[in-house]
Amino acid sequence: MKKFLLCYAVLTTALLACACRSCRHARGESRRLADNQTALASEVERYRTRLGEEAASVQALRLRCAEFEELRAADAARIRQLGIRLRRVEAAAKSSTQTAVVLRAPLRDTLVPRRAAVPAWDTLRRFRWRDPWVTVEGSIGRDSAECRIRSVDTLRQVVHRVPRRFLFIRWGTKALRQQIVSSNPHTRIVYTEYVRIER
């Protein structure tokens, strides 16, 4: 009788431990899926930093490896083309920026030799404008215009945890957020996405 009670107690304890573990896993999975729905429904928050730099913030998606492969098939294929196994990927981020500059540059006349059988001189109007991030230079001829634009930008990315709050108490993790800051004042962050691969 005692052996039967002991076996019953051990079996009940093991079943209770498995049920608690399964419940904890289901609760975590439910929280992850709810966070993903919130991340997909929210838009990119754009703002300016204290230094006047363009910045954006977006909530991170948390996907399992199989979900990433199914939902982001193009990104998964590109990762494989780089020679990286998908199971070794910790996170994948993607950002798009747009640089728009309104400029005024003075025109100046320049004499250049014309390419013809008889050497002669032709007049071109040239312009050049630059700041630390964008360089624009070009020339306007009689029947054509040529322009070269070069833009330099540095995107700084930070992924951080947002804690849960109750009054003044902070605990746990409410969400993962990605902050991106552009050093080019002409750049506007159009789109950003951060996907964390979970095991």
Characterize 54-76 residue by residue with b for buried, 16 or more Cβ atoms within 10 angstroms of its Cβ, and e for exposed.
bbbbbbbbbbebeebbeebeebb
Q: pTM for this one?
A: 0.56
Contact (CB, 8 A) for 151 and 66: no
Query: What amino acid is encoded at 110 in this protein?
Result: T
Q: Is the pLDDT of residue 118 over 60?
A: no
Contact (CB, 8 A) for 169 and 42: no
pLDDT of residue 173: 73
Between 20 and 112, the more confident residue is 20
Q: What percent of the chain has pLDDT over 90?
A: 0
Nearest CA to 114 out of 141, 148, 85 is that of 141
State the pLDDT confidence band at 119, using cuts at 50, 70 and 90: low
- How confident is the model over 155-199, as pLDDT tens digits? 777 677 777 888 888 877 777 777 777 878 888 888 888 877 776
State the pLDDT confidence band at 8, using cuts at 50, 70 and 90: confident
Q: Is the pLDDT of residue 110 over 70?
A: no
